[in-house]
Amino acid sequence: MFLGRLILHIISALAGLYLSARIVPGVEFYGSWKMLIFTGFVLGLASFFVKPILKAVSLPVIMITLGLFSIVINMAIVWLIADVVFPEAIEISGLIPLFWTTLIIWAIGFLSGANKN
């Protein structure tokens, strides 16, 4: 169960990054396919381990905004991985491409069942 959800998070992050780089204007991936796999792996790990902690800490804000602050948390994780951890591999130029990238990653995770609680 634990390992299966972790693998789903990693696969959905990898697929979301690849799809975003292909269809979202303002998202460019400059690395090799190995770097894409590694970036997706790190994003999946961050999404699996860090996001629940951030959601627990910001629970009052999430409740006040009726869950919309979760989008900000997801965008922050994607931004952190893209612009801070791997700035040479992936470039997301602006908030709108970041929003669409986050939405694509979330949708793939939702459809795959990785986002079940």
The model's pTM is: 0.90
| Confidence (pLDDT) at 113 | 84
Residue 1 has pLDDT above 90, yes or no: no
Residue 104 has pLDDT above 80, yes or no: yes
Say if CB 90 and CB 28 are below 8 A apart.
yes
Assess if residue 46 is contained within a domain: yes
Assess if residue 117 is contained within a domain: no
Assess if residue 29 is contained within a domain: yes
Number of domains present in the structure of the chain: 1
* pLDDT tens-digit readout, 29-74: 998 899 999 999 999 999 999 999 999 999 999 999 999 999 999 9
- Residues 33 and 47: their CA atoms lie apart, in Å, by 21
| Confidence (pLDDT) at 2 | 85
Say if CB 26 and CB 94 are below 8 A apart.
yes
Residue 114 has pLDDT above 80, yes or no: no
Residue 2, Ramachandran bin (φ over 0: left; ψ between -120 and 50: alpha; else beta): alpha
Q: What backbone phi and psi angles, to 5 degrees, belong to 29?
A: -115, 125
Note down the domain range covering 58. 2-112
| Confidence (pLDDT) at 115 | 74
Assess if residue 65 is contained within a domain: yes
